[in-house]
Amino acid sequence: MYILIQKQLMIYIRRTDHPRLYTPIMTKTLEIDVRSAEGLKLNRRLLNKKTFAVVRIGEKSRTSHLDVSRGSSPTWDYKLEMPINVSVQFIYVEVWYRTSSGREKKIGEAKIPTSDFMGRYSPEGHLNFLCYRLRDEFGDKCGIVNVSIMVKPNSTDELFKSSSKDYGACSSQVGTGPWRHRPEAPCVDGYGGRIVTGVPVWCVLQRPTIEIRVPRM
């Protein structure tokens, strides 16, 4: 198929059916597990309501079951698969609660960069255990959400196997086995523990440097 384009009295011919003349839209599949939340607050007070989680990617969303424990640290272990375009930069995990009258209200959301689980430092097939701050509509901290995310590899692609294995060997994100909360390494901002500011935990922590000054003679 050919299209004629007239520009400045010159005629150009462009093929539109040639595979090299356009870039296909790439779609991946995410395996997501919304595991739990911690320290949920409403109006700066610990929550005592039934809660559920919502995962949003673009215009698509999936909703977990309702946790009826009425605690500030609910557990869902909600596993799902969702398609994602590689051009998407963020996905969102929201936490909601249900009132006694049946109304549903949003507590807060976590904005997760796709670079935390897709790309150079996180190959396909690697399971990423992450936690993020939840923030309410005013931007205030209202809890923490724990998730695991993996980009589902292509079954015909054998390259990811070796790279995923090497990465998992040096990462503090556990590649296999169940996620376990470690009280001795709480989720706090900054170095030490698991970072909850939207950045995955890497295997290398920054070490403090010591500056030695020698007086001039």
Cβ(133)–Cβ(139) under 8 Å? no
Residue 48 host element (H or E)? none
- The Cα-based distances of 134 to 92, 103, 159, 161, 214 in angstroms read 10, 21, 36, 33, 47
Q: Is residue 21 part of a domain?
A: no
210 located within any domain = no
The CATH number for 82's domain is 2.60.40.150
The confidence score (pLDDT) of residue 78 equals 98
Is 2 exposed, middle or buried (CB count within 10 Å of its CB: 0-12, 13-18, 19+)?
A: exposed
Q: Is the pLDDT of residue 99 over 80?
A: yes
Written as six digits, the tokens of 49 are: 């309501």
Residue 192 has pLDDT above 50, yes or no: no
At 201, is the pLDDT very low, low, confident or very high (cuts 50, 70, 90)? very low
Residue-wise pLDDT tens digits, 4-26: 444 444 444 444 455 454 445 58
Give me the number of domains the chain comprises.
Answer: 1
In a domain, 194, yes or no: no
Domain enclosing residue 165, as ranges: 27-170
pTM higher than 0.85:
no
- Whether 209 is in a domain gets the answer no
Residue 185: inside a domain? no
Confidence at residue 155, expressed as pLDDT on a 0 to 100 scale: 66
Higher local confidence (pLDDT), 2 or 82: 82
Lowest mean pLDDT among 57-71, 81-95, 115-129: 115-129
Averaged pLDDT, 112-119: 94
Kindly state whether residue 189 falls inside one of the protein's structural domains.
Answer: no
The answer to the question of residue 215 being in a domain is no
Q: Is residue 15 part of a domain?
A: no
